[in-house]
């Protein structure tokens, strides 16, 4: 699987997550579920952080063409305090960054080109664009698992965002959905239950 294919999956999973969180009560989105956390405290903090990291590494560092979020209020991206922002503002910013990344990947960039992690530091470490993109994508997966755990803490069932949901072949007309097979149904239950919670705990 290449970067473009995996990002396509992430973008589809994001849309499902965004639709889900839009239906949550505002007080749930703002509730502090990471007691003692220095940087992040609630679901909106993590949603904003995921987008900030993608924008920073891919568009600011690698391309010098970052998205400027239409600030409702100034915020520190290290400690976003996202409860001050409306959810629709966060998701609008996220959609803009997503579309920008999709256009960039569709342009077939040179994935082996070097990228300095600190542009104005001659001694900065250098990675390939491919490595940087995978860093951003795996970062999102970790925090999405954390959001799923927080959703469960609030008493809700998070959407199933596993790769197989998006990659499995469509059921033939009048046929059986592969997700209804016992092995996949069992796997789905594990992913929505204990496995998702354990992964969320690792990044809390």
**Ramachandran assignment for 128, one of left (phi > 0), alpha (psi -120 to 50 degrees), beta (any other):** beta
> To 10 degrees, the CA torsion angle through 76, 82, 88, 90?
40
Q: Check the annotation: does 143 bind a ligand.
A: yes
CA–CA dist 126, 114 (Å, integer): 6
49 is in an annotated binding site: yes
CB distance 70 to 89 below 8 Å: yes
CA gap 66, 119 in Å, rounded? 14
Output the known binding site: 49, 139, 143
Output the known binding site for a divalent metal cation: 49, 139, 143
């Amino acid at each position: 699987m290449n970067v473009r294919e995996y990002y396509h999956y992430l973008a589809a999973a994001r849309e499902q997550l965004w639709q889900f969180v839009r239906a949550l009560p505002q007080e749930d989105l703002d509730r502090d579920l990471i007691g003692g956390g220095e940087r992040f405290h609630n679901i909106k903090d993590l949603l904003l952080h995921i987008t900030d990291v993608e924008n920073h590494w891919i568009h600011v560092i690698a391309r010098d063409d970052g998205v400027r979020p239409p600030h409702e209020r100034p915020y520190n991206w290290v400690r976003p305090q996202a409860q001050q922002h409306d959810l629709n503002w966060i998701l609008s910013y996220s959609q803009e960054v997503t579309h920008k990344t999709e256009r960039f990947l569709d342009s077939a960039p040179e994935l082996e080109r070097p990228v300095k992690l600190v542009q104005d530091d001659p001694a900065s470490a250098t990675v390939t664009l491919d490595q940087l993109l995978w860093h951003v994508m795996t970062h999102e997966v970790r925090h999405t698992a954390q959001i799923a755990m927080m959703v469960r803490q609030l008493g809700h069932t998070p959407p199933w965002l596993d790769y197989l949901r998006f990659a499995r072949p469509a059921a033939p007309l009048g046929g059986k959905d592969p997700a209804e097979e016992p092995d996949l149904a069992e796997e789905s239950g594990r992913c929505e239950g204990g496995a998702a919670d354990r992964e969320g705990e690792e990044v809390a």
